[in-house]
A and B are shown apart, each in its own frame.
Chain A
Amino acid sequence: MSAAYQHLALVDVRPGMILSDVLLDQQGQVLLPQGAVLTAATIALLPRHGVEMLPIARTDGEQHVQEAAIDASAVDARQAQLFRKNDADNQNDWATGILRRYVLDYRLGRSIEE
């Protein structure tokens, strides 16, 4: 189990949160593995399995905000370096451009905040 986790009541759990530990149902069957990212659909199914509390990884969200605050320009520079062969004007290379945008969003913590 991860050191930084908190038990949250089901009503406080939001999509995008991460399980810090494996989630079992009342019979001890595995419902979700450790590290699973919760989605709205999964959360909606949990009451049916009698789940009321969830072990949620604590640090991730905060960490990402912090990283974004500290490193935004460094992240940008590294992305530019990694994607240096991607030509934004090349119509045939649009998929690479989308990947670049998604990874940048992810790195800057614009993720998972619906």
Chain B
Amino acid sequence: MSALVPDDIVKNLEDLPSLPAVVMELLSSIDQEGVDISVLAKKVSHDQALTAKTLRLANSSLYGLQVKVTTIQQAITFLGFQTTRNLITAAAVTGCFAEGQCPGFDDKAFWRHSIATAACAKVLARRMRFNQDYAFTAGLLHDIGRLVLVSSYPALYQQVLAYRDTNDCPVLEAERAVLGVDHVVAGVALAEHWNFSDTMKMAIQQHHDPEAPGAGFLATIIHVANSIVHALDLAREENDLVPAVSSVAWTALGLNEEAYLHVFRETELQFEEITTILMG
């Protein structure tokens, strides 16, 4: 077959499932001042499934609220606009792609990995005094390009998985060998299509290469979180493989063993709870 080029991915994006209109609006307004919150809250409220999922996240122990929030507006009051927006995004994205399109691709394992990375990135971010909401969302979406490839090219992606199994290599390598493009390129294309912020795009683009100039600290956090989650075996994939940890990224975080043991524990606790909510 002839290799794909990034433009092929972009052409196919139109055929992909779209996020609810209000979520697109939330994402595109990410850097805007003076967004009318009450209007957005009202719009989200019209989507009952989305609202329910978002509120379950808001009421989870992740945020330690002492009151139970029952409306989006309340969630914004107690958690702030940033956090609530990220919860809405998480709730929307995890329900957005159809499952079972590509035999051999384990959608559940994919989301388990993504949610665990989100949890771990959030835990790391708190330790590093970095924006936890950014870390959570970037962790959740760092591999979203894989779903783009699976949805757009299910038959080819089956070959990718077969190549990976035969050669026992990282999935990134298998994608490049079979498709000519990888999930990083596809993820960035989707991030642009869905109007993600530049920070988020950069994190998706550089999570395998956090040493690149200008990659940013978020990419470093996602890179390390990704490896931790593989090492903790949270996706429970038989042939899972821990990708090499960049020593530059590891050094940049500068955490000692005691800190990491806490990070592991907190990640596992949060992971279980979020998984129940997002995949339940």
Binding site for B on A (CB under 8 A): 16, 18, 22, 24, 28-30, 32-37, 39, 78-79, 82-86, 92-96, 98-100, 102-103, 105-106, 111-112
Contacts and interface: CB of A to CB of B under 8 A. Distances in A.
B43 interface: no
A53 to B, nearest CB: 17
Contact of B64 (A32, A78, A95, A103): A32
22 contacts: A16-B262, A18-B269, A30-B64, A30-B65, A35-B266, A35-B273, A36-B64, A39-B262, A83-B242, A86-B242, A93-B247, A95-B247, A96-B244, A96-B245, A98-B250, A99-B231, A99-B245, A100-B231, A102-B264, A103-B264, A105-B261, A111-B261
B66 interface: yes
B62 interface: yes
B61 A35 contact: yes
A82 B245 contact: no
Contacts of A30: 64-66
A31 to B, nearest CB: 9
B241 interface: yes
Interface in B55-107: 61-66
A99 B261 contact: no
Contacts, number: 96
B244 A35 contact: no
B240 interface: yes
B61 A33 contact: yes
B114 interface: no
A86 to B, nearest CB: 7
A111 B265 contact: yes
A58 to B, nearest CB: 14
Contacts of A82: 230-231, 233, 240-242
Interface string B251-280: 100000100111011100110010000000
B257 A95 contact: no
A85 B241 CA distance: 8
Given A18-B265, A34-B61, 20 more contacts: A18-B269, A22-B66, A34-B64, A36-B64, A78-B233, A82-B231, A85-B241, A85-B244, A86-B242, A94-B247, A95-B244, A95-B249, A96-B242, A98-B250, A99-B245, A106-B260, A106-B264, A111-B261, A111-B264, A112-B261
Interface residues of B, number: 35
Contacts of A36: 64, 266
A95 B220 CA distance: 13
Interface of B: 61-66, 168, 170, 227-228, 230-233, 240-247, 249-251, 257, 260-262, 264-266, 269-270, 273
Contacts of A106: 260-261, 264-265
Nearest to B66: A30
A28 B260 contact: no
Contacts of A37: 262, 265-266
Most chain B beta carbons < 10 A, residue from A16, A79, A100, A103: A103
**Which of B66, B242, B247, B249: most chain A CB closer than 10 A?**
B242
